[in-house]
Amino acid sequence: MSSKSKGGLEDVIVTSSAICNLNEKTNTVEIRGYDLLDLAKYSSFEEVCYLLWYKRLPSAKELTEFTQTLANHRQIPTGMIELIKRLPKTSTMDSLRTWVSALAAYDSEPNNTSTEATLRRITKITAVMPTIAATAYRISQRQEAVQPDPCLSHAQNFLHMILGKEVSTSLSRAFEKSLVLYSEHELNASTFSARVITSTLSDVYSAITAAIGTLKAPLHGGANEEAMKLLLAIESPKNAEKYVRLLLAEKRRVMGFGHRIYKLGDPRTKLMKQISEEIGEETGQLRWHKICEQVEETVGAEKKLFPNLDFYSAPAYYCLGIPTDLYTPIFASSRVCGWSAHILEQFQSNRLIRPRTTYVGPSGLTYVPLCERH
Ligand code: ACO
């Protein structure tokens, strides 16, 4: 890092990658060459997962087989549910981090870093993370866990395990689009964590556990939960402008706004906003979407900041009846397929990631023995 660094590794190129192309000039995101918005509109979550890991879109037969394989791996290992019940009450995101880490104990060869072994492992982890998140949440609420249903798609099953009921095809498809939008986004903080851990030739569980720990906080994936808390506090569109102006006057951040890369708006937001409106209309709860629009207008006028993907996912998930505590675990359960693609890529052409700092501390001090110090 040069002494002129803006900090936060801003604009620093850390590695080459063939996974995700963020172009802030054209305001587009491509996954292995395909527009992310097209993938969200036309692909299933499973199809995007396949594209990320196998570097090309699957044939119909490959997709059917892959979808079934993921569905077959949704069960939490025997015995783990009892352990989940014994953990003192914590957030679902902390639970998810703990139990993904614990999955290593159920793997007979967790340190095998071959591509085949890594693919088997990321398939299991991606398949089971929604079950862990939904189960941990329901147990924390003293509700019965809902068994995964292998006949449902990844997205339908996830909603079914959270809500304990079926939802309309249009709602589950809207939810699936949000999962695709969340699935991969270049070298964001959590993906960087996963790559750093992998670069030491550590195991996949450690890399994904670290990524979950990085994602959970408010400046990254935790922003969707914080955004919903803001909407709940605002309560009504008519309160939004005053509330936000006060917040900004106190120099506080509006969660779900701003982005390190996109200074002219997050290209994923347009579709997420549309999804939020559709879900709001179908569920008769457009109020939350309308509050968002007011907040967007005020933050734009006051700070010239735009909403990122996390902002409109909050009202969308709220209207689906998803508890706030699950928003970031949902993000993690989707982003795991992007983390996994980066872990595979890192293993396939690895070099230890070991950056430098510019030293700004004291130098050449004379050591004073303890008995002579005041
Ligand atoms: N609300 C109010 N002001 C903001 C916000 C915000 N959400 N975001 C940035 N700013 C302001 C800062 O206060 C700062 O102003 P100043 O120069 O007057 O001090 C200026 O914009 C630059 O902010 P930085 O923190 O330097 O920008 P950076 O690129 O490091 O931050 C980040 C990006 C962390 C996303 C930031 O915009 C933020 O905190 N947003 C809120 C959290 C959030 O939504 N995170 C989700 C990220 S996207 C995702 O994970 C899907």
Contact 146, 160 (CB under 8 A): yes
Find the radius of gyration of the CA atoms of the chain: 22
Q: Is the pLDDT of residue 359 over 80?
A: yes
Among protein residues, the one with the nearest Cα to ligand 1's atom 18 is: 251
pTM: 0.96
220 lines ligand 1 (CB under 6 A): yes
256 lines ligand 1 (CB under 6 A): yes
> Whole-angstrom Cα distance, residue 71 to residue 124?
10
Of residues 163 and 7, the one with the higher pLDDT is 163
* Cβ-based neighbours of 179, under 8 Å, separated by 6 or more: 45, 154, 155, 158, 330, 333, 334
Among residues 154, 160, 259, 289, which one is catalytic? Answer: 259
315 lines ligand 1 (CB under 6 A): no
Q: Which atom of ligand 1 is nearest to the CA of 248?
A: 2
294 residue type, one letter: Q
* pLDDT tens-digit readout, 219-245: 999 999 999 999 999 999 999 999 999
> Taking residues 144-161, what's their average pLDDT?
97
**Tokens standing for residue 239:** 């309160």
> Taking residues 319-342, what's their average pLDDT?
98
Band of residue 3 on the pLDDT scale cut at 50, 70, 90:
low
Choose one of 183, 184, 253 to mutate for the ligand 1 pocket test, by most ligand atoms within 8 angstroms of C-beta. 253
